[in-house]
Structure 1
Amino acid sequence: MYAASCAECSDDGQFSVDGERLFIGSFNLDPRSIELNTELGFVIHSPKLAKEVGSVFEQLAPEAAYELRLQDGGLNWIERHDGQEIVHAEEPNMTLGDHLMIGFAQRLPIQWLL
């Protein structure tokens, strides 16, 4: 599966699962969105376009996104810049405020919404 999103278009995205079809829209791939989604998207049957988008994603993703890797019972975030691999043992770019907000949200009784 290829997934991509546009930084300037916060919720817009596209993905190709099988190299034959391409989905373009604002749908998120999580259980809540699958059950409650009211947004829209288009499925385009075009092997050529799906492969082209997949190819562009494969070229851009390594330097535009973190790779998550399980290691020694923990989770590492792998960042790549100029051919160099940087391993982060903790989620990058998280502020104290971010950690506090996540800790607070984990205690809310909202599991049924997820």
Structure 2
Amino acid sequence: MHLNTEMGLLIDSPTLAQGIHRTFDKTVPLRAYQVRLGEDGRLRWLSGVGNPPPVYDTEPNTRWYQRWMLRLWGWLPMEWLL
């Protein structure tokens, strides 16, 4: 409860909602990655930019030590924090 940062927003304006929807459709693919499961069972990150878009084998914009720390934290029993 204290760590959850999700938020919701109810917009009672079809015009405003359509504008936000169009903006998301244009900008999110340029700034986000699609995560897919590769044929070998490993995660792959697909960029939304380029034709064909680049595919990354490791999480983009992270360093090896950041990924190592996340893996270490994943082994710790922290489910009670979720």
The alignment's TM-score, normalised by the length of structure 1, stands at: 0.57
Number of residue pairs the alignment of both structures matches: 79
Q: Which residue of 1 aligns with 2:63?
A: 95
Query: Which has the larger strand fraction?
Result: 1
Superposition RMSD in Å: 2.4
Correspondence for 1:53 among 16, 20, 27? 20
Q: Structure 1 segments of 4 or more deviating over 6 A?
A: none
Distance 2:38 2:53 in 1: 15
Correspondence for 1:64 among 20, 27, 31? 31
The alignment's TM-score, normalised by the length of structure 2, stands at: 0.74
Q: Can you give the 5+ residue segments of structure 1 that lack an aligned partner in the other structure?
A: 1-31
Using the aligned pairs only, state the percent identity: 33
